[in-house]
Structure 1
Amino acid sequence: MIGVSAVIEEALSFQEKINFLANLEIFEELSDSELAALARISEQYTFGDRAVVVHQGDVANRLFIVESGRLEAVSINEEGVSRRLTQYLPGKWFDDVWLFNPGTHPCSIRAKRTGRLILIKSDAFIKFLATHPAVFNKLYLSDAAEEELVKSPMAKVDRRYRSIKLVPGELVELETPRSRWVLFVKIFLPLLGLLAVPALIYWTMRATFENLGINWVLFLSGLFAFVFLLIVLFQWLDWANDYLVITNKRLVHIEFNLSSLSAKGKDTLLDQVQSVETVIPNLFSSILNLGTARVTTSAQTVLYFDYLNDPDRVKETINTIRGRKRSMSDGEFKATMRKSVENYFQIPEALVKLKEDNPKPVARATQVGNVMKRIRKFRLYRYRIEEGSTITYRKHVFALFVELLWPMGIALVLAVSVILLNFLELDQYVSIVIVAGLIDLIWFIWRTEDWRNDTFQVTEQYVIDIDRRPFGFGESRKQAQLDNIQEVEADRPNFLATIFNFGNVEVETAGADSNIVFESVSNPTGVKNDIFKKRSKYQDRKRKNDAERQRREYAVLLDVFMQERELERVHRRTPDFDNALDALAQTTTQENDE
């Protein structure tokens, strides 16, 4: 059977693996410490002669490096024609683009000689780059991998992507503001005013008021020019901060309203997108290639991204990502089926992982680093607490300040009252003020506790809004499963919210009247991204559990089928060409007998 032949049982030592990686062109510029870190995340596998190490259509999310042996790549087209493409000898690899953007294998790869492979998983490599940013500019990559790398969080370091906070493995497929024609329409009149009005004022005042000093004329002209310049700058900032970003995981629409200094970011998960349409409303839009992209989600929510240059790009990008995800889903399904068959018939695995003894990295903690960690922990205790797999958020302290305005105002009035009563020698009323002060103190404590107990949580499976009354006077909870989340919107509604970085996070879930709102939380964009990360991890776990469940179900189905076949209760579903009866010969014989 294929894959049963002898394999190499001994792995390279850690230093030998470092030396081997250092001699590869893709990693030749890495330092010794970087190579050691890379060697820790790489895994060694062995394969036997004629073993199929990769099947066409399987999920491709690893870099394969041939350490020894020989492999050949063969593809098969829709007509069933096989074509031998290339061979991989020691020191060759395939395919570095999968380190940044996993896809599916375009061909099957079979061993022509027993050997070893070194595999580097995509998620491990992304984490490696995050901890070793200098490697970013040292890699010798293919053109396709370079194109994917510039879409990654390591390359997207400007302000807009810091606000989006791309997660590891997330790639920016498309980024587009509204059309520059929108900006032109907005600033045309202010620009005209900037050029014409100051000059008009200058010549008018010089001709009308001859005794007016030149300094006053220049001052008034400059004042009007400054006002128009501010309007132009305002319109430009408003246009520049309204943009759409499409990643391989979500759609992000960022809007910043300068008139109220409020910001709003809305995330729509790509797996919730049902359809994408483009609308070009009139002839003028058709000439300028302007239009609107209309995205419909599974919750029947319709999102509009208007005044875009070439709106078809949005549709093409989303459809390309969805097509890639469907291909990967099909690949995972086929791998699950294949694993069930191999387990049932006890077929040895084509790739066998070798046991390695990699030394653990030495942790280096400085005194300054420990102090900063304690400071960060103290800050997180106020607004964000992460305990195990649960993240708890409290409302921003500004929300507490608003809640305490009345108690503090009343306390101030009572303090002034005590001073006045003492001054007027009306001591008999001081006790009443003291009682009022105690009541106000209780009110103050009540509101403080109410603020402290009003929390929001994100767990491995749920988002939860907890409204707990002070001192155990009741509690209400509202929760939604992460898998049911359709959209997440972070909103800083006003000037103070923008300055102090707090706002609301609205989680839209499947079903009516089931949205959850995290109110007045600190760093709403960070909360939104925490939800997004938790949901991605939840879906990964669910996908793995579903695959394992399917493997068990298929194994049982296959076992039942084999039992029925052995009992000869399963009839053929295809003709037996070798043992088929010759109906034509029988017909001739019958005619002769007659």
Structure 2
Amino acid sequence: MRKRHELVAARLRTCFLFEKLPEEELEYLASLAEVRRHPEGTVVIRQGDPGDAFYVVLSGHLEVIRMDERGQERTINYHVAGHYFGEGALLTGKPRAATVRAMDDVELVVFDKSAFEQLCSRHPDIKAYLLRTRVDFPGRQPDEVADVHTRRHPYAVIERLFFPMLVFVLWTSITFGLHFLPGAPLRAILPWTWLVFSALWLLWAVLLYIDWINDTYIVSTKRVIHIERVLLLREERREAPIDQVLSVTMETPTLMARLLGFGTLIIRTASRGDPIVFDHLAEAGRIQQVILELRGRARGYRVAAEKGQRRRILQKRIVGLQEGKTEPLMPQPPTPPPPPKPKGALYRFFDYFVPRMVLTKPGEVTWRKHWWVLIKKVAAPLLALFLVVVGLIVVSFFPLPLLGRISGSPFFPYLIALSIFLFLGLLGWLLWRYEDWRNDIYTVTTTSIIDRESAPFGFREQKRVGSLEDIESVYSHVPNFLAKVINLGDVFIDTAGSPRAYTFESVHDPLAVQQEIFSRIHAYREWKSQRASQTEMERWADWFAEYHRLVFRKGQMEGKSRP
């Protein structure tokens, strides 16, 4: 029995949750658990069931499947040796969020509910880590888990307070020195000036603290994110897909950083833009390893997906051959939707003059600039039109003596014509400005991003198109307090090899735009990987099917040749 526990303990160490535990503790944990083997196709846990166990993968591959509200299944993750799963339902008490199914023969270490509770009570650091990975954050996707959710080291606040603190101490010393000095000028108001200065300094310290707690570093199973908020002023959010990370460089720039154990991580992708920087980061070395490990997992995800797809294609082809079916397994291109029915003139009129900031069509989303930009564009022509209309109303309904003399003048018809031309000119100016706002659009399709800027009525058009595959990082920026109130901001999209970022300027809800782009990047890369893998596997399946056909035919011929 002890020998078995030692073997299980040695294999548990391959999971990073247990890699730092001493040998005796690992053997004790192994005694709490049991090893289970499941053949291919076994459902280990099922979506909606209560949580009853925690699992560590020793060998094999498993796929994580989630059924959406429409009843469609979608593979959202894979598990290989060294991974763990099943902790979410045990920690939260909620039903299982997904189904986990064996893709081949698997071997698992299983901690039942009581064993998992003992594990958490003996190692609160492991429980704390598992709870941290369940934390929510803005824009988190349903199948996304945050392995790191932290902020800057507290020294970052102290560093920014150092100079104000020095000034405060100096001012306090001067104030008290003058107060106790006989005959000092303005002695009566010195305490009040000190109180005002102290209040301002305290307010500054509180603002720095709020700024510190508002800045967040996140490393999830899908991306790295840096959220930078300045209270009531601006907000920036930079993120990059985890599998696009090329390098993670750790620096300890000062002696204080070495003494207090924090550093700076510089995260680079293939983009020519600025890297994502995690500065004043506690446990920078550990987080560097987490990023690299998650990058490896994300790339291994595709390997596991290809393996499962390869198995399914070969099985389907061979079974189809045995049943006499020869139809291709590659999915056919989707049938394009039928052309929309022509709309009436009244519908087109209202559709043109109703300013919509977001347009959703099958397979694409289009954004126009924020309505605040529209207001600024049309404010001047609208004001001029308003003044002209008010002037005409006053002239028409409130006759003035001067108007009587002007109406008898030979220039009166010219004045009327000039007024009409002025009105039409202002109306044309208004339409020009509205059309200028309406023509600047930003589109994300299932395969590309499009930044189109057009002059009104087709005079000029500039259009940039980029592939979702080339996107390396997405950066949103809310520039000021007013923009934060009306939810306006910019979204910058860095692509590999391009010196200039795509800019979705002054869009409504920049965080939602950023998340829409990211989700489409993930879906496109997953589709392209599956497509390439399926094409290759189809070729292999043809070869294996031909081999199977030849072997089957040879067996038939040998059977006929026997007496």
TM-score by length of 2: 0.64
- Aligned: 1:60 with 2:34: no
Equivalent AA in structure 1 for residue 60 of structure 2: G
- Aligned: 1:243 with 2:246: no
Aligned to 1:80: none
Aligned to 2:7: none
Structure-2 separation of matches of 1:338 and 1:57: 14
Structure-2 separation of matches of 1:405 and 1:331: 57
Q: Report the Cα offset of residue 142 of structure 1.
A: 8.8
Unaligned runs of 5+ in 2: 1-40, 67-79, 90-95, 108-115, 121-125, 322-353, 555-563
How does 1:341-352 map onto structure 2 within 5 Å?
Answer: 341-346=314-319
Q: 1:450 to 1:273 in 2, by over 3 A?
A: same
Q: Provide the secondary structure at the position in 1 that maps to 2:319.
A: coil
- Aligned: 1:386 with 2:357: no
- Within the candidate set 157, 163, 172, 1:189 is matched to 163
Structure-2 separation of matches of 1:151 and 1:344: 41
Q: Provide the secondary structure at the position in 2 that maps to 1:61.
A: strand
- Which deviations, in whole Å up to 9, do the C-alpha atoms of 1:241-260 show, x marking residues without a partner? 333211111111122345x9
Structure-2 separation of matches of 1:409 and 1:340: 67
Q: Provide the secondary structure at the position in 2 that maps to 1:292.
A: strand
Q: Report the Cα offset of residue 233 of structure 1.
A: 2.4
- Within the candidate set 170, 176, 195, 2:144 is matched to 170
- Which deviations, in whole Å up to 9, do the C-alpha atoms of 1:336-357 show, x marking residues without a partner? 3333443454399xxxxxxxxx
Structure-1 separation of matches of 2:280 and 2:520: 33
Aligned to 1:314: 287
Q: Report the Cα offset of residue 278 of structure 1.
A: 1.1
Structure-2 separation of matches of 1:487 and 1:415: 50
Unaligned runs of 5+ in 1: 1-6, 8-17, 28-53, 64-75, 78-92, 111-138, 349-379, 569-594
Structure-2 separation of matches of 1:140 and 1:542: 42
Q: Provide the secondary structure at the position in 2 that maps to 1:184.
A: helix
How does 1:20-35 map onto structure 2 within 5 Å?
Answer: 26=52
Structure-1 separation of matches of 2:467 and 2:100: 28
Q: Report the Cα offset of residue 321 of structure 1.
A: 0.5
Aligned to 1:464: 450
Aligned 8 A contact 1:100 1:149 in 2: no
How does 1:133-152 map onto structure 2 within 5 Å?
Answer: 148=130, 150-152=132-134
- Aligned: 1:232 with 2:205: yes
Aligned to 2:503: 517
Q: Provide the secondary structure at the position in 2 that maps to 1:404.
A: helix
- Which deviations, in whole Å up to 9, do the C-alpha atoms of 1:72-114 show, x marking residues without a partner? xxxx99xxxxxxxxxxxxxxx985669679999799349xxxx
- Within the candidate set 369, 375, 392, 1:401 is matched to 375
- Aligned: 1:280 with 2:263: no
Aligned 8 A contact 2:225 2:239 in 1: yes
Q: 1:105 to 1:56 in 2, by over 3 A?
A: farther
Aligned to 2:38: none
Structure-2 separation of matches of 1:180 and 1:220: 30
Structure-1 separation of matches of 2:129 and 2:280: 27
Q: Report the Cα offset of residue 490 of structure 1.
A: 0.9
TM-score by length of 1: 0.61
Structure-1 separation of matches of 2:129 and 2:202: 39
How does 1:293-372 map onto structure 2 within 5 Å?
Answer: 293-299=265-271, 301=273, 302-346=275-319
Aligned to 2:23: none
Q: Report the Cα offset of residue 318 of structure 1.
A: 0.8
Structure-2 separation of matches of 1:286 and 1:277: 16
Percent identical residues: 24
Q: Report the Cα offset of residue 294 of structure 1.
A: 1.9
Equivalent AA in structure 2 for residue 314 of structure 1: I
Aligned 8 A contact 1:254 1:266 in 2: yes
Aligned 8 A contact 1:198 1:222 in 2: no
Aligned to 1:551: 537
Q: Report the Cα offset of residue 60 of structure 1.
A: 3.3
Q: 1:467 to 1:109 in 2, by over 3 A?
A: same
Aligned to 1:266: 238
Q: 1:416 to 1:210 in 2, by over 3 A?
A: farther
- Which deviations, in whole Å up to 9, do the C-alpha atoms of 1:280-314 show, x marking residues without a partner? 23444322223221222123554333332232133
Q: CA RMSD in A?
A: 4.6
Q: 294-303 or 416-425: which moved more?
A: 416-425
- Which deviations, in whole Å up to 9, do the C-alpha atoms of 1:42-87 show, x marking residues without a partner? xxxxxxxxxxxx9943233159xxxxxxxxxxxx99xxxxxxxxxx
- Which deviations, in whole Å up to 9, do the C-alpha atoms of 1:309-336 show, x marking residues without a partner? 2321331111111222233333223323
Aligned 8 A contact 1:55 1:105 in 2: no
- Which deviations, in whole Å up to 9, do the C-alpha atoms of 1:182-201 show, x marking residues without a partner? 21011133245556635753
Aligned to 1:534: 520
| Number of residue pairs matched by the alignment | 431
